[in-house]
Amino acid sequence: MSLTHLNARGEAHMVDVADKPESRREAAASGRIHMRPETLALLAEGGLPKGDVLATARIAGIQAAKRTHELIPLCHALALSKVAVDFRLDEAESCVEVTATCRLNGRTGVEMEALTAVSVACLTLYDMCKAVDKSMEIGAIQLESKSGGRSGDYRRDTLESRPAPIVTGEGQAGEVSLGSRCDIASPCIRVKCLAELRERLGVGEIAVPLDSLERSDVAGLKAALKVLDPRFSRLDEGRVLCAVNQVMASDATPVTNEDEVAFFPPVTGG
């Protein structure tokens, strides 16, 4: 392993990429800016003096990605085909998570562009919010994944960035868990949504109190879920299968306390 930006004498130089084959390159980076909960709340409500914070930071990130070669000495100027900057407001951690994805068909990687986009989007967030909070802290700026090129694919090995769950269940990226597991005090049914259905609904697991069911069967459970959260109306879209305690079931199958009910799309194994 050697540093490609150093020549045989150890001097910095720009890598000649003229003879490298073009390939599809993609990189994703992420970072966080921690702030006071009040600042995050103002940001979410759009109540900050400089106006729409996230829209401004998004444009700043995109612009920065395009100008990476002006900032980082040995970076090539690239004709990026895509730059996307996204934000997730994390109230539990009191921070904004910034992610950037860059893509092009070319001879050199785009991870510096993605990292630059995240960095400048974070700096812009700071600038937009500093009137109300000077203690904000930018951190954890890192490459999440890159693909294409000779050095091969890279993916940061954390729970959040794993490509997809093998085991269906708790805490996948971008999904919301509602309620908690059954406790002894209140009889309830544990509901799981699997595979494509989990992603479509944005719900992995939810506990449904037994007394919210008008009828103690799968049809009654579906009705109770729809009252609980409108997203469950999508249980009627397309073919959705159901298993009660891991055995295939239908709308008429009875359910009771502590049952595990799974909804999932048609199977596609083999």
Partner 1 sequence: MIRVQEAPFDAGTEQQALLAGRTDIGAVVSFTGLVRDFNERPEVTALTLEHYPGMTESALEAIVEEAKGRWPLDAVRVIHRVGRLTPGDPIVLVVVASAHRRAAFEACDFIMDYLKTRAPFWKKEHASDGDYWVSERHSDHADARRWEA
* Binding region for substrate: 74-76, 112-113
CB environment 234-258: b (16+ within 10 A), e (fewer): bbeeeebebbbeeeebeeebebeee
**Which three-class secondary structure state does DSSP give residue 154?**
strand
> Which pairing describes strands 247-249 and 241-244: parallel, antiparallel, or unpaired?
antiparallel
Q: How far is the CB of 93 from partner 1 (least distance, A)?
A: 27
Nearer to partner 1, 99 or 124 (CB): 99
Q: How far is CA 243 from CA 86, 214, 255, 265, in A?
A: 36, 20, 11, 11
Q: How far is the CB of 147 from partner 1 (least distance, A)?
A: 8
Q: Does 152 bind partner 1 (CB under 8 A)?
A: no
Nearer to partner 1, 127 or 260 (CB): 260
Residue of 127, 133, 211, 217 marked catalytic: 127
* Binding-site positions: 74-76, 112-113
Identify which of 122, 162, 121, 167 has the alpha carbon closest to the alpha carbon of residue 145.
Answer: 162
Identify which of 70, 74, 65, 71 has the alpha carbon closest to the alpha carbon of residue 25.
Answer: 65
> Would residue 127 show up in a list of annotated catalytic residues for this protein?
yes
Nearer to partner 1, 252 or 267 (CB): 267
Which amino acid is present at 64?
A
140's CB contacts (< 8 A; 6+ apart) are: 30, 31, 32
Instruction: Using the rule CB under 8 A, give the single segment among 47-55, 73-81, 88-96, 259-267 that binds partner 1.
Output: 259-267
Q: Total residues contacting partner 1 (rule CB under 8 A)?
A: 23
Q: How far is the CB of 200 from partner 1 (least distance, A)?
A: 9
Q: Does 159 bind partner 1 (CB under 8 A)?
A: no
**Which three-class secondary structure state does DSSP give residue 223?**
helix
Q: Does 18 bind partner 1 (CB under 8 A)?
A: no
116's CB contacts (< 8 A; 6+ apart) are: 64, 65, 67, 68, 71, 72
Q: Does 268 bind partner 1 (CB under 8 A)?
A: yes
Binding mask 163-202 for partner 1 (x = CB under 8 A): xxxxxx-------------------------xxx--x---
Instruction: Using the rule CB under 8 A, give the single segment among 13-21, 27-35, 209-217, 238-246 that binds partner 1.
Output: 238-246
Q: How far is the CB of 189 from partner 1 (least distance, A)?
A: 16
**Residue indicated by tokens 């103690």:** 216
Q: Are 99 and 29 in contact (CB under 8 A)?
A: yes
Q: Does 246 bind partner 1 (CB under 8 A)?
A: yes
Phi first, then psi, for residue 92 (nearest 5°) are -60, -45
Q: How far is the CB of 168 from partner 1 (least distance, A)?
A: 6
Residues of this chain that bind partner 1 (CB under 8 A): 24, 163-168, 194-196, 199, 239, 243, 246-247, 262, 264-270
Give the catalytic positions in this structure: 127
